[in-house]
C-alpha cells in the first residue's frame, strides 16, 4: 500500500451514490464499510492488501476502519455476493470495476498536477490553497484527437437531471410490474442505470423530445403486449422511438400532421448540423 497524501481523493458521484444499486444492495452499515474499503483501495490501485502477496488480517482491518469484526466480515461477504468486491485469495480483495470509480474520462481529464514553487496557488475552479497545503497547480490536458471528439464526449457526459431520473425510474417501475423476475433489472448496475438516464437526456436535448412525449412513449411501450417484450432499456426505447411514437399516437388522438412537420424539422436540423 502506497503512502497517501492529505489531498488524495476519489470521486463519489452524487446521483450514483443516492440512487444507484448500492443503496438497495447494501444495508447502511454495509454501505459505510464499502465506502471505507473504496477509500483504502485508492491507496493501492483498487486492491485492499498489506502487500502483493498478503491481505490484511480481518482483526487488523476492523481496527483500522473502527468497525466490529462481525460487520466487517458480513459487509465483505455481501459486497462479494453482489459483485462489488472480488476475493483474490490470501485475504486480498479488489474493488470490482475499479477504473469506473477512479478513472472515468471526465476524471482523467480533470486533474493532472505538476510541482510549483509559489506561496499561493489559485486552482481553475476558483479555490485558493496555500503553499503549505499544496505544492501543485491545476493543469488541463486534452485526451481527444480533435475538438469535435471532445465536444461529442462532453455532450454525452453531461449530467442527467431530475426529469431524466424520474422518466428512467418510471420505465424501471413499469418493467418491474410487467415482469417481477426480469433478468434485465436484476443485472441493472449503477453504470447501466446512469447510461439509461443519459439516453433519456439525449432524447430531450439532442432529439428534441418533450418530457410529456417521452413519458407517453414509455407508458405505451410497457402497456403494449408486443413492445413490452422488446423495449427493455432506455437506449432501446430511444433507438425505436419513431416506431413507438407512431404506434402510440394512433391510440390516443395522434396528430399526424404535427408529427410529420416535426420529423421534417429534425431532418433539416441534422442536415444543417444544428443537432
Predicted pLDDT at 247? 86
Predicted pLDDT at 72? 95
**Residue 132, pLDDT above cutoff 90:** no
Average pLDDT for residues 16-39, to the nearest whole number?
89
CA angle 216, 260, 252 (to 5 degrees): 35
Split at pLDDT 50, 70, 90, the class of 149 is low
Query: Residue 180's beta-bridge partner residues?
Result: none
Q: What is the mean pLDDT of the chain?
A: 77
Q: How many CB atoms lie within 10 A of CB 252?
A: 8
Split at pLDDT 50, 70, 90, the class of 244 is very high
Domain positions in the chain are 14-102, 105-139, 158-268
Give this prediction's pTM. 0.41
Predicted pLDDT at 259? 53
Average pLDDT for residues 109-128, to the nearest whole number?
43
Predicted pLDDT at 26? 92
Predicted pLDDT at 213? 92
**Residue 47, pLDDT above cutoff 70:** yes
Model pLDDT for residues 150-204, shown as the tens digit of each residue: 666 655 556 677 899 999 999 999 999 999 999 999 999 988 999 999 999 999 8
CATH of domain 14-102: 1.10.10.10
**Residue 136, pLDDT above cutoff 90:** no
**Residue 6, pLDDT above cutoff 50:** no
Amino acid at each position: 500500500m502506497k503512502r497517501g497524501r492529505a489531498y488524495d481523493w476519489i470521486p463519489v458521484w452524487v446521483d450514483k451514490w443516492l440512487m444507484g444499486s448500492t443503496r438497495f444492495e447494501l444495508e447502511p452499515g454495509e454501505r459505510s464499510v464499502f465506502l471505507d474499503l473504496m477509500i483504502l483501495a485508492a491507496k493501492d490501485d483498487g486492491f485492499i492488501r498489506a502487500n502483493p502477496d498478503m491481505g490484511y488480517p480481518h482483526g487488523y482491518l476492523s481496527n483500522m476502519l473502527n468497525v466490529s469484526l462481525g460487520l466487517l466480515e458480513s459487509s465483505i461477504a455481501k459486497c462479494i455476493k453482489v459483485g462489488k468486491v472480488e476475493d483474490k485469495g490470501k485475504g486480498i480483495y479488489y474493488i470490482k470495476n475499479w477504473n469506473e470509480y477512479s478513472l472515468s474520462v471526465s476524471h482523467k481529464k480533470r486533474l493532472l498536477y505538476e510541482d510549483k514553487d509559489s506561496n499561493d496557488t489559485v486552482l481553475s475552479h476558483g479555490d485558493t490553497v496555500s503553499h503549505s497545503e499544496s505544492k501543485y497547480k491545476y493543469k488541463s490536458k486534452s485526451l481527444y484527437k480533435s475538438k469535435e471528439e471532445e465536444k461529442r464526449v462532453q455532450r454525452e457526459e453531461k449530467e442527467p437531471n431530475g426529469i431524466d431520473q424520474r422518466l428512467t425510474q418510471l420505465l424501471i417501475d413499469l418493467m418491474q410490474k410487467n415482469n417481477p423476475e426480469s433478468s434485465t433489472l436484476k443485472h441493472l448496475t449503477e453504470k447501466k442505470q446512469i447510461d439509461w438516464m443519459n439516453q433519456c437526456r439525449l432524447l430531450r436535448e439532442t432529439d428534441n423530445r418533450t418530457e410529456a412525449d417521452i413519458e407517453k412513449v414509455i407508458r405505451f411501450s410497457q402497456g403494449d403486449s408486443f413492445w413490452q417484450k422488446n423495449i427493455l432499456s432506455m437506449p432501446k426505447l430511444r433507438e425505436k422511438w419513431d416506431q413507438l411514437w407512431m404506434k402510440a399516437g394512433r391510440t390516443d388522438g395522434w396528430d399526424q400532421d404535427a408529427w410529420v412537420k416535426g420529423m421534417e424539422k429534425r431532418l433539416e436540423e441534422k442536415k444543417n448540423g444544428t443537432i
